[in-house]
């Protein structure tokens, strides 16, 4: 084939295919649409779509959080203290001896030190500089079960603190945290204090971190014990050596009781709320809609465009006011009879859950939160006529990351001024025909 012919063929093919980028005739003339569906929104009251709501607590422990909590009379209610137990002290350090050689030395004298912690300035609540104190805990405690009342609270072993709130403690140091200067708090420790924890039993008991200033709630991280060490081979030089916290938890009071007329999720141990749904088979519509369609309207998966659980936020219990965004997860309760230990299904709202800003539980209490449940409600409707669709009518509201924090989310429950609602968006149509 001659080159000129080939070029011609390519040009011809290009021209012929030039229209391949499809564009359909389109107009904004709605009168020509062959169908005229009616869309209506229906908001069902709680009793019309649910049989009840039950709160379940006790999921997770404070030790599972990534931070400790320190509070004193926060919102006039909450006291929290963080307990930190230390690992063993170092048994040797490397120092330069008189000949200039660096070598390990196991003959150590602990002459002092400091304890450094950092405050999460985003999730903490304060009003000006805060004074914190640390004291040596005098009693063994169990990191998994310690609480305000009990140092150990496990099956077959319940031991109370001599003094509620992990007391008494041997006062060691105080420090002031000024938020304007940074996020670190440094507690200076004398030789007697650091000598205390050379005993591994006492070291394991560790310290209790208290807030001296009232009206604060702080989330504290990174409890680092930095020792000043003098080695025999070079007594003129001080060496610093870090001791990592071996264990950490926090204790608080008051402990939340069963909510009255509220739906809760969050806090630690965490709360979940289980809703028992009973979506009606038909719904009534406003008279103007009923003039166009036959009422009541049967709920079908085809007609359902969206379904949202409507919650209204309310102020959290004193002391448990959120200070950062919460993320609500919604999952099927697969075996409701086994609550609170029923397995849960996959998330119905995505991995990150439904974002709820902290203001909704304070100055913006009463805000509306929509939880998208379209696919779930569609499944409930399908299950009525299709035995192969297996879906639980119990839904659990919980924190997407559980446990996430001490604070919790609270919404109006059944019987409250703002009970949950189910908002359905329906589109009613006679169906698409070929003509």
Helix (H) or strand (E) holding 47: helix 46-49
> Is 155 an interacting residue with respect to other proteins (CB under 8 A)?
no
Fill in the per-residue mask, 21 to 60: x = in contact with other proteins (CB under 8 A), - = not in contact.
xxxxxxxxxx-xxxx-x-xxx-x-----------------
- Tell me the C-alpha distance between 235 and 250, whole Å: 39
> Is 201 an interacting residue with respect to other proteins (CB under 8 A)?
no
Query: Could you say which of 1, 155, 201, 417 contacts other proteins (CB under 8 A)?
Result: 1
Find, among 378, 377, 368, the residue nearest to 421 by Cα.
368
- Tell me the C-alpha distance between 61 and 66, whole Å: 11
Q: Give all strands (DSSP E) within 182-321, no chain letters.
A: 184-189, 207-211, 216-231, 234-243, 245-253, 262-266, 270-277, 282-283, 297-298, 304-312
Cβ-based neighbours of 30, under 8 Å, separated by 6 or more: none
Helix (H) or strand (E) holding 416: none
> Is 377 an interacting residue with respect to other proteins (CB under 8 A)?
no
Q: In the bound complex, what is the minimum distance in angstroms from residue 280's beta carbon to other proteins?
A: 18
Of residues 185 and 307, the one with the C-beta less far from other proteins: 307
Q: In the bound complex, what is the minimum distance in angstroms from residue 346's beta carbon to other proteins?
A: 17
Q: Which of residues 255-314 bind other proteins (CB under 8 A)?
A: 302, 305-306, 308
Q: In the bound complex, what is the minimum distance in angstroms from residue 11's beta carbon to other proteins?
A: 11
Q: In the bound complex, what is the minimum distance in angstroms from residue 245's beta carbon to other proteins?
A: 40
Query: Could you say which of 4, 7, 10, 16 contacts other proteins (CB under 8 A)?
Result: 16
> Is 389 an interacting residue with respect to other proteins (CB under 8 A)?
no
Of residues 46 and 86, the one with the C-beta less far from other proteins: 46
**Contact stretch for other proteins (CB under 8 A) within 12-20, 91-99, 123-131, 180-188:** 12-20
- Tell me the C-alpha distance between 398 and 340, whole Å: 12
Contact (Cβ atoms closer than 8 angstroms) between residue 83 and residue 163: no
Of residues 63 and 371, the one with the C-beta less far from other proteins: 371
- Tell me the C-alpha distance between 348 and 335, whole Å: 17
Q: In the bound complex, what is the minimum distance in angstroms from residue 61's beta carbon to other proteins?
A: 32
**Contact stretch for other proteins (CB under 8 A) within 148-156, 157-165, 397-405, 426-434:** 426-434
Strand partners, 428: 38
Of residues 78 and 283, the one with the C-beta less far from other proteins: 283
Query: Could you say which of 17, 180, 201, 291 contacts other proteins (CB under 8 A)?
Result: 17
Q: In the bound complex, what is the minimum distance in angstroms from residue 325's beta carbon to other proteins?
A: 15
What is the per-residue burial (b if ≥16 Cβ within 10 Å, else e) of 1-22? eeeeeeeeeeeeeeeeeeeeee
Of residues 84 and 356, the one with the C-beta less far from other proteins: 356
Of residues 200 and 427, the one with the C-beta less far from other proteins: 427
> Is 157 an interacting residue with respect to other proteins (CB under 8 A)?
no
> Is 375 an interacting residue with respect to other proteins (CB under 8 A)?
no
Of residues 106 and 427, the one with the C-beta less far from other proteins: 427
Of residues 18 and 201, the one with the C-beta less far from other proteins: 18
**Please, what is the Cα angle at 400 between 403 and 271, to 5 degrees?**
50
- Tell me the C-alpha distance between 203 and 86, whole Å: 5
- Total of chain residues touching other proteins, rule CB under 8 A: 45
Find, among 384, 406, 416, 379, the residue nearest to 395 by Cα.
379
Q: Encoding tokens for residue 122?
A: 């985003």
What CA dihedral angle connects 99, 104, 109 and 113, to 10 degrees? 110
Of residues 91 and 433, the one with the C-beta less far from other proteins: 433
Find, among 171, 280, 177, the residue nearest to 221 by Cα.
177
**Contact stretch for other proteins (CB under 8 A) within 17-25, 57-65, 239-247, 254-262:** 17-25
Contact (Cβ atoms closer than 8 angstroms) between residue 220 and residue 82: yes
Q: In the bound complex, what is the minimum distance in angstroms from residue 285's beta carbon to other proteins?
A: 11
> Is 10 an interacting residue with respect to other proteins (CB under 8 A)?
no
Q: In the bound complex, what is the minimum distance in angstroms from residue 433's beta carbon to other proteins?
A: 5
DSSP label at residue 414: T
Q: Encoding tokens for residue 345?
A: 């299904």
Cβ-based neighbours of 275, under 8 Å, separated by 6 or more: 50, 52, 53, 263, 309, 394, 395, 396, 397, 420
User: Using CB under 8 A as the criterion, which residues of the chain lie in contact with other proteins when the complex forms?
Assistant: 1, 5, 12, 15-30, 32-35, 37, 39-41, 43, 302, 305-306, 308, 368-370, 372, 374, 425, 427, 429, 431-435
């Amino acid at each position: 084939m001659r080159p000129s012919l080939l070029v011609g063929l390519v040009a011809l093919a290009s021209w012929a295919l030039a229209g391949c980028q499809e564009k359909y005739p389109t107009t904004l003339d709605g009168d020509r649409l062959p169908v005229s569906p009616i869309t209506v929104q229906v908001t069902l009251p709680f009793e019309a779509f649910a049989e009840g709501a039950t709160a379940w607590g006790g999921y997770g422990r404070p030790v599972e959080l990534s931070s400790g909590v320190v509070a004193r009379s926060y919102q006039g209610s909450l006291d929290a203290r963080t307990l930190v137990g230390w690992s063993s002290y170092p048994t040797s350090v490397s120092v330069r001896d008189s000949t200039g050689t660096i070598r390990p030395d196991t003959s150590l004298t602990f002459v002092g030190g400091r304890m450094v912690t950092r405050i999460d300035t985003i999730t903490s609540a304060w009003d000006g500089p805060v004074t914190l104190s640390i004291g040596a805990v005098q009693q063994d405690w169990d990191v998994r079960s310690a609480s305000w009342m009990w140092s150990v609270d496990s099956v077959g072993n319940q031991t109370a603190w001599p003094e509620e709130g992990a007391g008494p403690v041997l006062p060691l140091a105080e420090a002031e945290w000024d938020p304007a200067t940074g996020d670190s708090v440094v507690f200076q420790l004398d030789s007697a204090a650091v000598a205390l924890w050379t005993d591994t039993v006492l070291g394991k008991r560790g310290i209790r971190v208290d807030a001296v200033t009232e009206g604060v709630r702080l989330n504290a991280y990174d409890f680092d014990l930095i020792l000043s060490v003098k080695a025999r081979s070079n007594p003129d030089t001080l060496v610093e050596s870090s001791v990592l916290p071996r264990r950490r938890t926090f204790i608080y009071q008051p402990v939340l009781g069963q909510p009255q007329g509220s739906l809760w999720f969050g806090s630690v141990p965490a709360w979940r709320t289980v809703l028992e749904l009973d979506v009606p088979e038909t719904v009534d519509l406003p008279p103007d809609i009923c003039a166009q369609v036959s009422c009541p309207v049967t709920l079908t998966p085809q007609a359902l465009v969206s379904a949202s659980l409507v919650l209204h936020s309310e102020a959290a219990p004193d002391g448990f006011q959120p200070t950062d965004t919460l993320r609500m997860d919604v999952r099927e309760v697969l075996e409701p009879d086994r609550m609170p230990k029923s397995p849960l299904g996959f998330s119905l709202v995505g991995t990150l859950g439904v974002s709820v800003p902290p203001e909704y539980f304070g100055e913006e209490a009463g805000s509306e939160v929509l939880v998208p449940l379209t696919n779930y409600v569609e499944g409930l409707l399908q299950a009525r006529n299709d035995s192969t669709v297996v879906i639980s009518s119990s839904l659990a509201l919980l924190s997407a990351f559980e446990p996430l924090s001490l604070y919790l989310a609270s919404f109006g429950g059944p019987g409250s001024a703002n009970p949950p609602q189910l908002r359905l968006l329906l589109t009613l149509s006679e169906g698409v025909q070929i003509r």
